[in-house]
Amino acid sequence: MGIPLIYTPLLQRPARQVMLADPPSLGPKAQVREALEKMHQCKSGCVITVEGGKPVGIFTERDVLRRLSRGELHPSAMLEEVMTPNPVALGLDTPIHEAMRVMNQRGIRHLILVDSEGGLAGVVLIRHITEALAESCPEAVLNLPPRIHQKMKQAEGA
Amino acid sequence: MSATGLKCPACGSDYLSGDDQCPNCGGDLADLDASASTPLGTYLQTHTLKEMRQSKLVVLDESDTLEKAVKMMAGASTGAAMVKAADGTWGIFSERDILTKIDPTTADLTQHKLAEFVTRDPVKLRPEDSVAIALNKMSIGGYRHIPLFDKSGPVGMISVRDILATLVDAMA
């Protein structure tokens, strides 16, 4: 084990290069209804709760699923009542492989990036990680034939 | 063709040294030596999905209610479930469907059947397929879950977080 990362320079790029800038955000007093509308509109799996420009919480589609399963998704509840407070946030220059490690360790699919003043700058989505992994070894991942399960009994042609 | 010991990474067929394309699937073989030089690429091509961490497989029926699906998925901490149709075909239902297809704050979950939400004929892979193929499907199709099938039906579910977990461990 121990895949050496020196051969994968694309994973050493700063996460700011792959993040979604200006992610969907709302104030802590916004209602769950608004959060869901925003997620729907932006086709996003999360809304970040922001106070004075700084991220103070996150509300994700997994929270929606969990609350729904307990019958606790009230449209007029305030975001601050349902969000996960003090979300994990890293600096803009965190390397992608470090973002990967933190997302895995914390079991999260959305990683907030903050600027040097702690203001919300963007969010790294797990799909950015998948894309970075695929781009870092295109020969292995991207250049596959269109139909990999196609197996012919005999080679075609004369 | 006699066995050469050289296997196409995509379909597993034998090929002859010097072939630029796989004689079976047409996959590009010319760059194989180049890809073998990146350890991550080699890892992705040589490890299979059955070696990866997997999510809990939740299997439901199209006639099941949304309420049942939500409870089963939340209970299994997984964002996707396989759904069997009356004609025996399979579809997939994911937590994203809840956000995009109904208003979850007002909908009566007991009144909705999964048949309304399911995505039919999803991309499926086999447990013996490589991690590279799963990453290919996930990055190009934008999927977060890929069901694993054998001849008998669904045997597993792999999520992008499962792949991430395995890779992070392998990179440590």
Q: Give the closest residue to B93 by CA, choosing from B55, B122, B67, B71.
A: B122
Q: Could you tell me how many CB contacts below 8 A there are between chain A and chain B?
A: 175
- Residue position matching structure tokens 């040589």: B46
The pLDDT of A97-107, averaged and rounded, is 95
Residue A134 has pLDDT above 50, yes or no: yes
Subunit contact A140:B132, Cβ cutoff 8 A: yes
Per CB-CB distance under 8 Å, the chain B contacts of A126 are: 144, 160-161, 164
Q: What is the pLDDT of residue B5?
A: 60
Per-residue pLDDT, B143? 92
pLDDT in tens, B127-156: 999 999 999 999 989 899 999 999 999 999
- Find the closest chain B residue to A39 by CA distance: B99
Flag if B44 and A109 touch (Cβ within 8 Å): no
Q: pLDDT band at B2, cuts 50/70/90?
A: very low
DSSP per residue, A55-115: EEEEEEHHHHHHHHHTT---TTSBHHHHSEES--EEETT-BHHHHHHHHHHHT-SEEEEE-
Q: Which residue has the tokens 């609350």?
A: A67
Residue B28 has pLDDT above 60, yes or no: yes
What's the distance, Cα to Cα, between the start and end of chain A in Å? 45
CA–CA separation, B52 and B77 (whole Å): 17
| Chain B residue nearest residue A140, CA to CA | B41
pTM attached to this predicted model: 0.82
Residue in A closest to B76 by C-alpha: A66
Q: Please state, rounded to an integer, the average pLDDT across all residues of chain A.
A: 90
Phi, psi at residue B113, to the nearest 5°? -95, 150
Round to whole Å and give the CA distance between A138 and B41. Answer: 8
Q: Tell me if A145 and B105 make a contact (CB, 8 A cut-off).
A: no
